[in-house]
Structure 1
């Protein structure tokens, strides 16, 4: 049973990852056939929407991971650690420093009794 679940999840993950490039190639071919030209790129509006959609999904994932723990509010320590890591990453700090500082802030707040 376990190996079946692993194989199904692996196949699903691969399908999602390969769907992006295949869909892009199909959209480019469809546009090229419609225009009668040799289109090499998607329309700029579609590219902007896809970029915005990717950003929204990433922000939603970060918010969900930072604010919830087991389906309920995670408290203040976890979002504070994520915020610390985000600020340091935005300031282009080395990745190791970002991870250590984020963990230290969250652990320090929890050690002080902050939920």
Structure 2
């Protein structure tokens, strides 16, 4: 069992190295088109949003809307509507989550 885990880790390491090296070898110093650069630029925020949504909605093996979800929505809404800073939004999200857990 232990050797299977280590072989899986080693295989994942090799595949990751190959994937990371594939782009520079294939592109060879050429410039990407503006459209592809735009897609690459949007990938990081999209991945971050997917990770945040998954982490605040995941509850074991099912999706669950709880206090943490409401807090994140409140902090995000504050940022969108008032253009508040990230620190303010995080504090609002933590405060709303704490209040819901305390009173609910």
**Partner residue, 1:42:** 32
**Partner residue, 1:25:** 24
Cα RMSD for the two superposed structures:
3.6
**Structure 1: segments with no counterpart, 5+ residues:** 33-38
SS of the counterpart of 1:81? helix
**Structure 2: segments with no counterpart, 5+ residues:** none
TM-score (norm. length: structure 2): 0.60
Q: Determine which of 68, 88, 93 is the counterpart of 1:102.
A: 93
What is the number of residues matched between the two proteins? 97
Distance 2:57 2:42 in 1: 22
TM-score (norm. length: structure 1): 0.56
Distance 2:66 2:47 in 1: 23
How far did residue 17 of structure 1 move? 8.7
